[in-house]
Chain A
Amino acid sequence: MLLLGYLLARSCEGDMREKIRQAKLRLLKMHFESGVGHIGGNLSCLDLLMYLHHRVMKAEDVFVLSKGHSAGALYVTLWSMGRLKDEDLARFHGDGSMLAGHPPPNWIPEIRFATGSLGHGLSLSAGIALAKRLKGEPGKVYCLLSDGEWNEGSTWEALIFISHQKLDNLTLIVDSNGLQGFGTTKEVADLGSLSDKLRSFSLRVDEIDGHDVDSIAEAFSNAPVGPRAIVARTRKGNGVSFMENAMEWHYLPMSEELYMQAMKEVGG
């Protein structure tokens, strides 16, 4: 019986890995066709977004993408769930599109808030979590932040509030890829251990490999006790050799040659 359960779980996670691979291919295609950048930070959080939306979140849960520059990964995740269509993705970043380079307001039910200016999402999530508590509504709130976003003072304001209000229906997830707009996080504003700092605010913190499905699954399977954080070690441009850990892929569009190489590496 135990063996059967184990094999079933392995099979499910194998299925998840394939879903992620397909999403990665679609993400590369969307960014290539639209000729825009930000692909590096999208690839660093795609595994997390896919697992969260496909395996963790229930109908009553809410997700806020605080690192709005990873809108592409969110759009593709929603596409993988049937919430967006191929023709929607085809208009990404174009004229007359609802899919702007950062999540838009008032178009897509799953995107509750337009984000893109960093330092807003955690406070918005805290407001949703507190409202759920006051109204006695079920459901959890998940918020994905970048590591560079911890430069923003408002993110720390939100952390103080979450800790003080003991918002145990909120999980913050940090896409810790170590690179930000114009340098590494260590070069720009070295925080040392973000996990330790989050723990000092009484959050329960899990540090995981943000590209390992088993590791992600284990973190999300832990029952929350109080507000919690998942600090995911990730690679900017994950899965594409020439993009991995390279700051320029925060900005660059792909040439056709590089796109073909990327698709080949991902197995397309």
Chain B
Amino acid sequence: MRNVLCDSLVGHAARKEFVFLTGDLGYNALEPLRAALGDRFINSGVAEQNMVSVAAGMSSLGLVPWVYSIAPFAYARPFEQIRNDVCMHGLHVVIVGNGGGYAYGPMGATHHGLEDYGTLLTLPGMHAFVPAFASDVPVIVDTLFDLKRPSYLRLGRCEKPGDFVLPPYAPWRRLLDGRGPAMVAVGPLAGGILEIFRRMDPAIRPALWVLTELPIRKESMPEELVRDIRQSGALFVIEEHVAHGGAGQMLSYALTEMNEAPREFIHKFAKGYVSGLYGSQLFHRKECGLDPESVAAEVVRRYGTAAKG
């Protein structure tokens, strides 16, 4: 998605208010943006705290700074700067965290962003975007220019099956119909499970939804999703993020407020380092039951028998 982001931002380079700050990252990806922006592309060095405060200062003069680093360096290192300098003043600064979740795989725990959006969404006015597919990125980029508030963009890897035709972009999209549980996948996880679920019997497969914008508010939840949950009585949430502050918690809170709590709630989330060992993104997903095969097996185990009966 990084190259798509770069292309999308190049398309906005004519905006005079647009400035881009990187924490010394972007090799083999952001060069076209650097060329397009000239002195408005600022490599602020390996100094993320300064980078975010500089962005806040620029925003206070009407510029629209985008701040870029690997996810944990973008949100965790400069957390106080995001809190005090950006969010307390409601400034239009976009924080881009590349490689959310386990995307940096074997690079190790310091490079994983498992608690990014949950942490940031505790801050006033913050909005988070987790594009699921490469084609979501240009739409989200347009939104991020228009939003005029603090926001976070978690970039991952597009896992869409090549021939699958996506519905038009929306924060909530139903990707597959099914009479199994209502399932909500946050961001790119949806792409991997699409392939396995579209081959599954609709009698047991989930009604698969993808969620790409947070926080979740009851006012913005689609009626159709609530109906899917009500009809199946079960909600299955998968996200590459820790349980605390994650979409699963937000969703269960919203549904409880709406008096629509499902009879059954299954939440698969990032559990850290289950074996204490490191590997690819898929290795870590498997350890957490987040890989497509584990998710599908869980659905069959819970709902397969009932469907046959």
List the A residue with the shortest CB-CB distance to B47.
Answer: A157
Bound complex: CA A125 to CA B58 (Å): 9
List the A residue with the shortest CB-CB distance to B54.
Answer: A127
Q: A114-B89, A117-B84, A120-B85 are in contact. Are A131 and B50 (CB under 8 A)?
A: no
A158 CB-CB contact with B under 8 Å = yes
List A contacts of B55 (CB < 8 A): 127
- Whether the pair A106, B58 counts as a contact (CB closer than 8 A) is no
List B contacts of A124 (CB < 8 A): 53-54, 56-57, 60, 85
- Whether the pair A154, B50 counts as a contact (CB closer than 8 A) is yes
- Whether the pair B89, A125 counts as a contact (CB closer than 8 A) is no
- Whether the pair B49, A153 counts as a contact (CB closer than 8 A) is yes
Bound complex: CA A117 to CA B81 (Å): 10
A137 CB-CB contact with B under 8 Å = yes
- Whether the pair B63, A160 counts as a contact (CB closer than 8 A) is no
How many chain B residues have a CB neighbour from A under 8 Å? 29
List A contacts of B85 (CB < 8 A): 113, 120, 123-124
List B contacts of A131 (CB < 8 A): 19, 57-58, 60-63
List A contacts of B47 (CB < 8 A): 154, 157, 160-161
List B contacts of A115 (CB < 8 A): 84
- Whether the pair A126, B57 counts as a contact (CB closer than 8 A) is yes
A132 CB-CB contact with B under 8 Å = yes
- The answer, among B40, B50, B88, for a CB contact under 8 Å with A134, is B40
Majority SS at the chain A contact face: helix
Q: Which residues 117-167 of A sit at the B interface, judged by CB distance below 8 A?
A: 117, 119-120, 123-132, 134-135, 137, 153-154, 157-158, 160-161, 164
- Whether the pair B90, A127 counts as a contact (CB closer than 8 A) is no
B44 CB-CB contact with A under 8 Å = yes
Interface flags for A98-122 (1: CB within 8 Å of B; 0: not) read 0000000110000011110101100
Interface flags for B49-74 (1: CB within 8 Å of A; 0: not) read 11011111111111101000000000
- Whether the pair B61, A132 counts as a contact (CB closer than 8 A) is yes
Q: A124-B85, A154-B53, A161-B54 are in contact. Are A134 and B19 (CB under 8 A)?
A: yes
- Whether the pair A158, B53 counts as a contact (CB closer than 8 A) is yes
Q: A106-B90, A124-B56, A128-B57 are in contact. Are A117 and B49 (CB under 8 A)?
A: no
B39 CB-CB contact with A under 8 Å = yes
- The answer, among A126, A132, A135, A137, for a CB contact under 8 Å with B54, is A126
- Whether the pair B89, A128 counts as a contact (CB closer than 8 A) is no
List the A residue with the shortest CB-CB distance to B83.
Answer: A117
B45 CB-CB contact with A under 8 Å = yes
List B contacts of A105 (CB < 8 A): 88-89
B80 CB-CB contact with A under 8 Å = yes
- The answer, among A112, A135, A164, for a CB contact under 8 Å with B63, is A135
Bound complex: CA A135 to CA B80 (Å): 27
Interface flags for B258-277 (1: CB within 8 Å of A; 0: not) read 00000000000000000000
Q: A112-B60, A130-B54, A131-B61 are in contact. Are A123 and B49 (CB under 8 A)?
A: yes
- Whether the pair B84, A120 counts as a contact (CB closer than 8 A) is yes
- Whether the pair B89, A123 counts as a contact (CB closer than 8 A) is no
List A contacts of B54 (CB < 8 A): 123-124, 126-127, 130, 158, 161
List A contacts of B57 (CB < 8 A): 113, 123-131
List A contacts of B88 (CB < 8 A): 105-106, 114
Nearest Cβ distance between residue B68 and chain A, in whole angstroms? 16
List B contacts of A106 (CB < 8 A): 88-90
- The answer, among A112, A125, A154, for a CB contact under 8 Å with B49, is A154
- Whether the pair B61, A113 counts as a contact (CB closer than 8 A) is no
List the A residue with the shortest CB-CB distance to B19.
Answer: A134
Nearest Cβ distance between residue A211 and chain B, in whole angstroms? 30
Bound complex: CA A126 to CA B81 (Å): 14
Nearest Cβ distance between residue A66 and chain B, in whole angstroms? 10
List A contacts of B63 (CB < 8 A): 131, 134-135
Nearest Cβ distance between residue B92 and chain A, in whole angstroms? 13
Residue from B44, B57, B63 having most chain A Cβ neighbours under 10 A = B57
- The answer, among A114, A153, A157, A164, for a CB contact under 8 Å with B84, is A114
Nearest Cβ distance between residue A101 and chain B, in whole angstroms? 15
Bound complex: CA A158 to CA B52 (Å): 11
Bound complex: CA A124 to CA B54 (Å): 5
Seen from chain B, the residues whose Cβ lies within 8 Å of a Cβ on chain A are 19, 39-40, 42, 44-45, 47, 49-50, 52-63, 65, 80-81, 84-85, 88-90
Query: What would 20 A/B residue contacts be, using CB atoms closer than 8 Å?
Result: A106-B89, A113-B56, A113-B60, A115-B84, A120-B84, A120-B85, A124-B56, A127-B55, A127-B57, A127-B65, A128-B60, A130-B42, A130-B57, A131-B62, A132-B61, A134-B39, A154-B47, A157-B45, A157-B49, A160-B45
Seen from chain A, the residues whose Cβ lies within 8 Å of a Cβ on chain B are 105-106, 112-115, 117, 119-120, 123-132, 134-135, 137, 153-154, 157-158, 160-161, 164
A-B complex: 8 closest residue pairs judged by Cβ atoms: A127-B57, A123-B53, A157-B50, A127-B54, A157-B47, A131-B61, A131-B58, A154-B49
